[in-house]
Chain A
Amino acid sequence: MIYREAGQFKSTYASDQAIFPIVQDRWVVLALLAAAVVVPTALGSDYWLQAVLIPFLIYALAALGLNVLTGYAGQLSLGTGGFMAVGGYAAFKLATAFPGLNILAVFVLSGLVAAGVGLIFGIPSLRIKGFYLAVATLAAQFFLSWLFNKVAWFSNYAPSGTITAPARTVLGVMVTGPNATPGARYAVAIGVAIVFALLVKNLVRGRVGRAWMAIRDRDIAAEIIGVRPLRTKLLAFGISSFLCGIAGAEYVFLYLGSAETQAFDINLSFLVLFMVIIGGLGSVLGSFLGAAFIVMVPIFLANAPHALGLYMPVALQKQLELMVFGGLILFFLIVEPNGLARLWQITKEKLRLWPFPH
């Protein structure tokens, strides 16, 4: 009853094919976006911004990138951490080599560098698929992290091998470096996330997205109806790595402040893959839901015993956290293998019919 589209007639193709064809959806999403931009920037506590919201947005962008590759184009990748590292290091090199360059331009350029690297490591996908490809992308992960560790040029010959984000401003506001306020960094992160989420949403609704899905569902059949596997797969690798690269740049510049190659290790790749699977393969909304889930669960688990008044040794708590985290992943996979996005879809269907059963 609340959520009813009766009486909303579409008189043009454009209105019928809008991203949110239902009026209520449109208003809710717009209100949510406005709230997401304004409320935390103005009111959020530093802890929430720094420990929850900023990493959430960055992970969501990385998950979006991986979702393009794995969820839409069907190419399983375990090299996300490696591609994020390319973005992070490229952003560091660009920002220090060209101090006058706007930091947003630096992010986009480092995304392009990551896209180039992604294209190279995407070439084997033309011959191999499935888990064989997943293992092949691990080569990217290990090789890239070794490269950034070994070649001192990437960290500007810093003896510790650490890259540190220099201070940069956007429109006169300090957004990176140690003196940037969490609010300013959050504003950049959410701006980037909204722009690219919109971009991907439009991409996957169009010709490109359909080609990706055709390749995913049955590549030989797709080839026969005229989808070119070479271009389609490489495009997916390029765009996916582009998004992961930007996420990696943000990871260093907006979240960590300074990083070593260990920050981009294999666990990061798995974490982002978890977000995509838990959120929902082939869903833009799912990338965000999955990222929120994976960011929130460890924080919740770390604080739950205190809230319940239980006190336990730190080591035991760590082990329990690991077990509960693993158990929750199993639980969600068993209950809803199609992810949180699917749950949301079901809820929406139910809301449209409520209070009637059919």
Chain B
Amino acid sequence: MLSLLHAVFVAPFLDMAGAPTFLAEVLIGGIAAGLMYSLVALGFVLIFKASGVFNFAQGVMVLFAALTLVGLMEMGLPVAVALLATVAVMVALAFGIERVVLRPLVNQAPIILFMATIGLTFVLEGLGEMLWGANVKKLDVGIPDESFKVAGILLNKLELTAAGTAAVLVAVLAVFFQRTRIGRALRAVADDHEAALSIGIPLKTIWVVVWSVAGLVAIVTGIMWGAKSGVQFSLSLIALKALPVLILGGFTSVPGAIVGGLIVGTGEKLGEVYWGPLVGGAIENWFAYMLALVFLVFRPQGLFGERIIERV
């Protein structure tokens, strides 16, 4: 019993203190993975805030964006042109989704909309595979995937670029939400649909805009994931990893998505490296969910989510 307690509560921390550079590398790896989760979660949050739709298709949108980009580049288009074309495709997709899925389902229960996005996932997965093939593709947009050492700690250029991109993206989104006219409209819709409608904000336009923005976030995420581990169909599964990030951060908070992603990423890596061997490893699959579950019992609205006030 005592040795078990020692193995759980003492030994891992001794390991950490014993090899600080290794700990730093584990932490950096966790942060890098966490940023990727954050980017996917960001797409979820944008759509949930503005339309109350829990968009399960965000993961497959990442995949679809990456596939389109790679496919266009393979056709011989230069990176910039292919990127613009992908942006156009994602905006067109947003228009299509608003027209075909969201508009007929307006005022339905949230669970119906959630199911509709799962249906959408199937359609997009089939379409992406049909258009661009099912093979794993290498996405090369000119970011070198090499490592170098700073103060004895191994760093990866690609991961640093991803971190920088995520930071820029969040900053741009913050400015967009706070400073622009359309951003203000988006926040109004997120606050109260009916009040927004009554002062003349067109809901349809707003929905197209948020789905387009989520599409753009998906492109960035797709490029980062694709450059790191190739464009493949397992990409659509990262949607599942983004869910605990969402509940940690709160469904309605952009900073929450980022912080939640970092917590999940580092927690998962630390857990796997230091506590995983105790139970046979591969705890990465459920660790984040358990973390989120325990967390939810104490704070049901997440770290930064809006306080849930209920009225009868």
Distance A138 CA – B111 CA, assembled complex (angstroms): 16
Tell me whether A150 is interfacial, beta carbon within 8 Å.
Answer: yes
Asked whether, in the complex, the Cβ of A274 is within 8 Å of the Cβ of B282, the reply is no
Asked whether, in the complex, the Cβ of B111 is within 8 Å of the Cβ of A277, the reply is yes
Known: A325-B122, A333-B119. A139 touches B289 (CB 8 A): yes
Residues of chain B at interface, number, CB under 8 A: 48
Q: Main SS of the interface on chain B?
A: helix
Interface centre among B112, B282, B310, by most chain A C-beta atoms within 10 angstroms, is B112
Distance A224 CA – B310 CA, assembled complex (angstroms): 14
Q: Which of A102-136 contact B (CB under 8 A)?
A: 124, 127-128, 130-132, 135-136
Which residue from A138, A143, A281, A319 sits with its C-beta under 8 Å from B130?
Answer: A319
Distance A322 CA – B285 CA, assembled complex (angstroms): 26
Asked whether, in the complex, the Cβ of A270 is within 8 Å of the Cβ of B118, the reply is yes
Asked whether, in the complex, the Cβ of A326 is within 8 Å of the Cβ of B119, the reply is yes
User: Which A residues are in CB contact (< 8 Å) with B293?
Assistant: 124, 136, 139
Q: Which residue of A lies closest to B242 (CB)?
A: A135
Tell me whether A167 is interfacial, beta carbon within 8 Å.
Answer: no
Known: A143-B286, A330-B101, A337-B105. A136 touches B112 (CB 8 A): no
User: Which B residues are in CB contact (< 8 Å) with A329?
Assistant: 115-116, 118-119, 122
Whole-angstrom distance between the Cβ of A63 and the nearest chain B Cβ: 14
Known: A132-B247, A337-B112. A330 touches B296 (CB 8 A): no
Tell me whether B134 is interfacial, beta carbon within 8 Å.
Answer: yes
Tell me whether A142 is interfacial, beta carbon within 8 Å.
Answer: yes
Tell me whether A198 is interfacial, beta carbon within 8 Å.
Answer: no
Asked whether, in the complex, the Cβ of B54 is within 8 Å of the Cβ of A131, the reply is yes
Interface centre among B101, B126, B290, B312, by most chain A C-beta atoms within 10 angstroms, is B126
Q: Contact string, B95-133, partner A, CB cutoff 8 A, digits 1/0?
A: 000001100110011111011101111111111011000
Whole-angstrom distance between the Cβ of A27 and the nearest chain B Cβ: 35
User: Which B residues are in CB contact (< 8 Å) with A320?
Assistant: 126, 130
Tell me whether B240 is interfacial, beta carbon within 8 Å.
Answer: yes
Distance A77 CA – B26 CA, assembled complex (angstroms): 34
Known: A322-B125, A329-B119, A330-B116. A136 touches B111 (CB 8 A): no
Residues of chain A at interface, number, CB under 8 A: 42
Distance A130 CA – B121 CA, assembled complex (angstroms): 21
User: Which B residues are in CB contact (< 8 Å) with A135?
Assistant: 243-244, 246-247, 289, 292
Distance A131 CA – B279 CA, assembled complex (angstroms): 30
Which residue from B101, B282, B297 sits with its C-beta under 8 Å from A146?
Answer: B282
Q: Which residue of A lies closest to B113 (CB)?
A: A333
Which residue from B54, B115, B282, B289 sits with its C-beta under 8 Å from A150?
Answer: B282
User: Which B residues are in CB contact (< 8 Å) with A124?
Assistant: 293, 296-297
Tell me whether B280 is interfacial, beta carbon within 8 Å.
Answer: yes
Q: Which of A305-358 contact B (CB under 8 A)?
A: 315-316, 319-323, 325-327, 329-330, 333-334, 337
Q: Contact string, A259-277, partner B, CB cutoff 8 A, digits 1/0?
A: 0000000100010011001
Which residue from A131, A139, A266, A323 sits with its C-beta under 8 Å from B127?
Answer: A323
Asked whether, in the complex, the Cβ of A132 is within 8 Å of the Cβ of B126, the reply is no
Which residue from A221, A281, A326 sits with its C-beta under 8 Å from B126?
Answer: A326
User: Which A residues are in CB contact (< 8 Å) with B280?
Assistant: 150
User: Which A residues are in CB contact (< 8 Å) with B285?
Assistant: 142, 146
Q: Which residue of A lies closest to B119 (CB)?
A: A329
Asked whether, in the complex, the Cβ of B126 is within 8 Å of the Cβ of A136, the reply is no
Whole-angstrom distance between the Cβ of B174 and the nearest chain A Cβ: 25
Asked whether, in the complex, the Cβ of B130 is within 8 Å of the Cβ of A128, the reply is no
Q: Which residue of A lies closest to B123 (CB)?
A: A326
Asked whether, in the complex, the Cβ of B300 is within 8 Å of the Cβ of A334, the reply is no
Tell me whether A218 is interfacial, beta carbon within 8 Å.
Answer: yes
Q: Which residue of B lies closest to A130 (CB)?
A: B110
Asked whether, in the complex, the Cβ of B108 is within 8 Å of the Cβ of A132, the reply is no
Asked whether, in the complex, the Cβ of A138 is within 8 Å of the Cβ of B121, the reply is no
Interface centre among B101, B108, B125, B300, by most chain A C-beta atoms within 10 angstroms, is B300
Q: Which residue of B lies closest to A147 (CB)?
A: B286
Distance A142 CA – B282 CA, assembled complex (angstroms): 11
User: Which B residues are in CB contact (< 8 Å) with A274?
Assistant: 115, 118
Asked whether, in the complex, the Cβ of B122 is within 8 Å of the Cβ of A139, the reply is no
Which residue from B100, B126, B246, B292 sits with its C-beta under 8 Å from A323?
Answer: B126
Tell me whether A76 is interfacial, beta carbon within 8 Å.
Answer: yes
Asked whether, in the complex, the Cβ of A128 is within 8 Å of the Cβ of B296, the reply is yes
Tell me whether B283 is interfacial, beta carbon within 8 Å.
Answer: yes
Distance A327 CA – B282 CA, assembled complex (angstroms): 35
Whole-angstrom distance between the Cβ of B190 and the nearest chain A Cβ: 16
Tell me whether B211 is interfacial, beta carbon within 8 Å.
Answer: no
Q: Which residue of B lies closest to A321 (CB)?
A: B126
User: Which B residues are in CB contact (< 8 Å) with A146?
Assistant: 282-283, 285-286
Which residue from A76, A127, A322, A323 sits with its C-beta under 8 Å from B111?
Answer: A76
Asked whether, in the complex, the Cβ of B115 is within 8 Å of the Cβ of A138, the reply is no
| Closest 4 pairs between A and B when the two form their complex, measured CB to CB | A326-B122, A323-B126, A139-B289, A322-B126
Residues of B within 8 A of A (CB): 54, 100-101, 104-105, 108-112, 114-116, 118-127, 129-130, 134, 240, 243-244, 246-247, 251, 279-280, 282-283, 285-286, 289-290, 292-293, 296-297, 300, 302, 310, 312
A-B contact pairs, 10 of them (CB 8 A): A127-B300, A136-B293, A319-B130, A320-B126, A329-B118, A330-B100, A330-B120, A334-B116, A337-B108, A337-B109
